[in-house]
Amino acid sequence: MNGRRLHAAGAVVVAAVMVGGCVSTGEYEKLEAEKNQEIAALQKHRGGLQDQVQGLQSQKTSLEQQQADLRRQIDGLEQQKAQLLAASQQNTSQYDALVRNLTEEVKKGQLQVRQYKDMLTVDVAEQLFFDSGRATLKDTGKDVLKKVGEALKGYEDKVIRV
C-alpha cells in the first residue's frame, strides 16, 4: 500500500512539474492576447448580429402592419365587388323586366330598348307619333307613350332617355 501511495504521489509531482514547466510566461501572455482578440471579435460580431435581429424584427413588424392594411383593403374591395355585382344584376333584371313589359311594341318594331352602363335608352319610331305634315299626336303614339310611361314608373333612380 505504501508503494502505491508513493507511486501516486510521484505521478502527481511529475504532472505538476510538466504542466507548470510546459508553457513560458511570454508564450502564455501571447496565447491570452490572441484569445482576448478572438473574444473581442466574437463580441463585436455578436453585437452586429443583435443589431441585425432588431432590424429584422422592426421590418417584420412593418410588414405585418402592411399585411393587415392590405387585408383591410381586400375586404373593402370584396365588399365593393359584391355591391357592384348586385347592382349589375339589378340593372340586368330591370332591363329584362322593361323589355318584357314592352315586348309587344318591340316585336312590332314600334320601339327599341337598349342598355348602356347605368342608362336605358328607349327609341320610339317617329311615324307612331305624327302623320306627315301634321302636329296632332296620333292615337298609336299616345298608346305607345302610355305603355312606355307605365313601364318606366318603377325606375325613379335611373337615367332613362326616350
pLDDT in tens, 39-95: 999 999 999 999 999 999 999 999 999 999 999 999 999 999 999 999 888 878 877
Q: What pTM value is reported for the model?
A: 0.48
Residue 22 lies in a domain: no
Cell 399585411 found at: 67
Domain annotation covers residue 81:
yes
Q: Is residue 21 part of a domain?
A: no
Q: Please tell me the total count of domains within the chain.
A: 2
Q: Are residues 127 and 154 in the same domain?
A: yes
Q: Are residues 145 and 87 in the same domain?
A: no
Residue 125's φ and ψ, nearest 5 degrees, are: -65, 135
Last residue of a domain, one of 61, 76, 101: 101
- Domain extent at residue 128: 103-162
